[in-house]
Amino acid sequence: MRNDTLKSLRKPIRTLIWGGIWLGAFGGVSALIPLFGLAALAEALQTAPPDLHRIAMLAALIVVCTVLGWLATTLAMGLTHLADERLQARLRCQMIAHLGVLPLGWFTGTHSGMVRKAVEDDLTELHYLTAHHEVERIRALSQPIIGLFCLSLLDWRLALLAMATWPLYGVAYFWMMRGYRENLQLMDRDLAAISAAIVELIRNIVVIKSYRQARQNHHDYGQATSRFALFYGGWAGRTARIEAISALLLSVPVIMLTSLAGGYPLVTGGQVTPVMLFAEIMVAMTLPQCFQTLHTGNAAFKRAQAAAERIDYLLSRPSLPAPTPTHPISPTSAEVTFDHVSFAYDDGRPVLNHLSFTCAPGTVTALIGPSGAGKSTLARLVPRFYDVSKGAIRLGGVDVRQLDRATLYRQVGFVLQEVELLHGTVRDNICLGHINARESDIIAAAQAAQIDSVIQALPQGYDTMIGDGYCFSGGEAQRIALARMILANRPILILDEATSSADPEHEVQIQAALSHLARGRTVIVIAHRLASIAHADQILVLEDGRIVQKGRHEMLVSQEGCYKDLWEVENRAQPLSHPAETEGALPC
């Protein structure tokens, strides 16, 4: 399976790779000829009188073959590096293009590290395999094969002598690699546990220190590192001892001593000449580097296989279906209609069941219900984070699946719980949906979002770099996102608990910004405080993916049901004024 994936990814550059392979094989063979040429030259120099013509021809042969071998290897590496550049450029373009058509919901459920690893790290893993491995492997294979073949032509015993230490090396190598894949999986598991412990410690450092639980969390981290150290120390210790033995068996001194010890009886017995033994020693001493290259290449090949699987997984994720009309369609109004909508995730788990309702232009529709009722999923179906499993969602009478992305996102804006600010200036982040906005409009949007005073207090004001020069708090980041939406001026807004990161003081300011943002627009809002949506035009109460109650606040609190229960719980927790007096509530 993995080999097929790797072949499929590299199919467009196959011709270049094969060109590199053939040139690499030629370079490997050319590098052996000078070794036998040196042996022949040594023999020619021992004759009396010396044959100068033969000596000159052998010297020229050595020089020419050395140069040809170098040129062939250089050209082979040039071809494979060209192949790698083309492969990386093609795969990067494919991945970036594919990321652009994936449903937005895929990103909310996928760790950004996975995407970064595929786009950056995994392509680096493919670099060695494509640019180096093929040429180095063919040289490492061709040199022993051709060298041993030539030695066997001189005397078959010389070929066996050159391989004298191979069986012991093979036993040591296979013993060293025993259980390699399982141990690698265990190492990855323990490293993941260490990473999780570090992330947990950093993410919850305030809570940990506040409740004096640092000792416990340090203990968890210490346990993870100790478990990894114990495992890796044992594995690496055993492997290092065996690897040292195997490396010794292929070291130059051991090979030379073995060749001299085994060749001496052959020379004294007259079966081979000293020059022939000299040729055998030179060929045998090239073999350790070949084995090392094959060993390194094998490990790189396994990593490249895993990288290819991850890249293929990313490229195989189903994209958002493109609209079928040949001419762009635009909604005729900002009305949002859910028509018998059902939705289930890829694993078949149902989330929403046959929901039908309409959000009229200029009204606020609030979604409430217990955790897991499907509120966020329902709201995210409008901007096509996912596509419905059954039924249809229509904007101004047009199915959202018939709208191209540009048209859809000109109609729908959203502020979610997880606010993302890009690395750039504050101005760039506010202008994300309206890049040509005037400075006065930017400031007006920030003022409406109750964040202008915070920005003006920064040393560089709107030119402050987010991430480098300043980091906004959660509540401030949400107000930046609101300013972004105000400036973008979308007719339909999705607000998913847009005050979730705010403290009580800032929540009032965000509610005021939401009130400004909601005027004259079709708004679908999810809120954790019922008082903030008490003035909504319609309130939908969800349970287990179904609408169990629907109406205005006054009607819902007067009848038995989930909404009344939630309202009473909220009032007991914090006594509130009459809904009409609640500060920052969304307008009608």
The mean per-residue pLDDT over the stretch 65-74 comes to: 87
228-242 burial: b if 16+ Cβ within 10 Å, else e: beeeeeebeeebeeb
Averaged confidence pLDDT in the chain: 78
Q: What percent of the chain has pLDDT over 70?
A: 77
Domain-wise residue ranges, the chain = 2-104+112-163+305-316, 336-581
**Highest averaged pLDDT of the listed ranges 19-28, 319-328, 389-398, 561-570:** 389-398
Work out the pLDDT band at 578, boundaries 50, 70, 90: very low
pLDDT in tens, 149-175: 877 877 888 888 887 777 777 776 676
Does 2-104+112-163+305-316 carry CATH code 1.20.1560.10? yes
Long-range contact pairs involving 460-463 (C-beta distance under 8 Å, separation at least 24): 461/426, 462/425, 462/426, 462/427, 462/430, 463/425, 463/426, 463/427
Residue 328 has pLDDT above 70, yes or no: no
Q: How far is CA 58 from CA 35, 43, 64, 104, 187, in A?
A: 11, 11, 10, 69, 54
What pLDDT, on the 0 to 100 scale, is given for residue 585? Answer: 47
pTM: 0.60
Do residues 39 and 275 lie in contact, with contact meaning Cβ atoms separated by under 8 Å?
yes
Please name which of 125, 123, 130, 147 lies closest in space to residue 33, comparing C-alpha atoms: 147
Its CATH architecture, for the domain 336-581, is 3-Layer(aba) Sandwich (3.40)
Q: Are 123 and 88 in contact, with CB atoms under 8 Å apart?
A: yes
The burial of 164, by beta-carbon neighbours within 10 Å (0-12 exposed, 13-18 middle, 19 or more buried), is given as: middle
Beta-carbon contacts of residue 265 (< 8 Å; ≥ 6 apart): none
Q: Is the pLDDT of residue 369 over 60?
A: yes
So what's the pLDDT on residue 357? 92
* Nearest partner of 186 among 226, 228, 152, 134, judged by Cα: 228
pLDDT classification of 97: cutoffs 50, 70, 90: confident
Please report, rounded to a whole number, the percentage of residues in the chain having pLDDT higher than 90.
4
Q: Report d(CA 586, CA 104) in Å as an integer.
A: 27
Residues 6+ apart with CB under 8 A from 259: 161, 162, 164, 277, 280, 281, 284
Which residue is it, tokens 């085994």? 262
What does the pLDDT look like over 1-22, one tens digit per residue?
455 676 777 788 888 888 888 8
Residue 564: partners with Cβ closer than 8 Å, 6 or more residues away: 556, 557, 558
Out of 20-24, 216-220, 268-272, 567-571, give the one with best mean pLDDT.
Answer: 20-24
Name which residue leads in pLDDT, 537 or 140: 537
Q: Which two tokens stand for residue 91?
A: 């795969």
Q: How far is CA 73 from the centre of its chain?
A: 34
pLDDT in tens, 435-452: 888 999 999 888 888 888
Q: What single-letter DSSP state applies at residue 574?
A: S
